Each structure stands twice: as structure tokens, then as C-alpha cells.
Amino acid sequence: MSGPAIIIIGLASIASAVLYTAGPYPLGYHGLGDLFVMIFFGFVAVCGTVFVQLGTVPVLAIWAAVPVGSLATAILVVNNVRDRDTDVLANKRTLAVRFGRRAGQYEYLALVLAAYLVPVLLLGLGEVGPAALLAWLSVPWAGVLVARVFRDQGARLNQALVGTAKLLLVFGVLFSLALTLDAGGR
């Protein structure tokens, strides 16, 4: 049942990966990389996985894609803030180039906040139980990373880049565990 849909998702993902840096209008060079990371690393990855397992995509899966996509996009944003000066020279028009370093820093903050607000929102809507807040155990680490993105420049941002990737992993494990525990209790 999911075969044709997964083939379409796979082909779209491959096309997006190629078009990110190639073709007549490379997405990553025109400030569209952030959007495509959010779509493919968030919504397509999470909802596609759920679709394969359930044959449908419940609303909870769509909401669960937001933190995953947000933190994956935050990895790209750190990279773009770090490389802003060289991207200007290479005519790579990332959002950090188009709107400035400070805008990139605030985009990073907004993406991290979005990740942590989703479990609270889902709890408030009654879609999940209190276990969803397990992901909040990683908030102190996220705070350190946000401070680093606002403070550091150049190669020093490599620590924030790696840290954000690790945060995505930790957040994802905690949030998945929370949703699993919550499903068992309902």
C-alpha cells in the first residue's frame, strides 16, 4: 500500500537533494535551503515513516515533524551563520546572507523555541499526556547552544553545529520515548 507513495517520496527527496546545489536555480544558493530542510528532514521524514507503519498520517505525526524539522533546519542555520562571509563572496544567497548574521541568529532561536513549544502545545490540546515534556530535559543544553550561536563566530561555531546535531538526536529520542510512553498509557 505504501509502495507507490514511498517511491514518490524517494524520488522527490533525491530531486530536492540534487537541486539543492545543482541545476539552473540551486535552492541552497537562493535562500530556500532552510525551507527544503524543514520539509524533507521534518515533514517528509517523520510523516513518511509514520505512513509506512500505519498506512495513514495522523495529526500527531504532522505535529511531531515540527520539532524534528526545526532542529534539523537549525543545523543548517548554524552553518549559514558561520559561513556568512564566505557565502557572500561565493554569491550564495542564504537567509543569513540576505538578512544578516543577526537575522540568522534569531532564526536559530525561533527554530529551537518551535521544537520545545510543540510538546507543550500538544499537551495543552490534550493530544498527549505529561510524558511529552520529557523532551524538555534537554532545554539547558539548548540554552547553551543558543547562547553560543549569538556569541561565537567563524570556526568557533563548529561546536554549536555539532551540538545542534546532537541536540536533535537527544530531543528526538526523548520525544519519541515520551510519545511511546503516552501511547501505552492511553
| Number of domains observed in the structure of the chain | 1
pTM summary value: 0.92
Domain interval for residue 116: 3-185
DSSP state of 91: T
- Give dist(CA 145, CA 86) in Å, integer: 23
Determine the pLDDT at residue 29: 81
Is residue 100 within 8 A of residue 33, CB to CB? The reply is no
Determine the pLDDT at residue 123: 94
Question: DSSP H helical segments within the chain, as ranges?
Answer: 3-21, 33-37, 45-54, 59-82, 84-89, 95-99, 101-124, 139-151, 158-185
Phi/psi region, residue 129 (left: phi>0; alpha: psi -120 to 50; beta: rest), is beta
Determine the pLDDT at residue 184: 57
- Give dist(CA 61, CA 26) in Å, integer: 30
**In this structure, what C-alpha cell is assigned to residue 74?**
537549525
Q: Which residue numbers in the chain have pLDDT < 50?
A: none
Determine the pLDDT at residue 186: 52
34-47 burial code (b ≥16 CB/10 A, e <16): bebbbbbbbbbbbb
Is residue 70 within 8 A of residue 114, CB to CB? The reply is yes
Determine the pLDDT at residue 3: 77
**In this structure, what C-alpha cell is assigned to residue 31?**
535562500
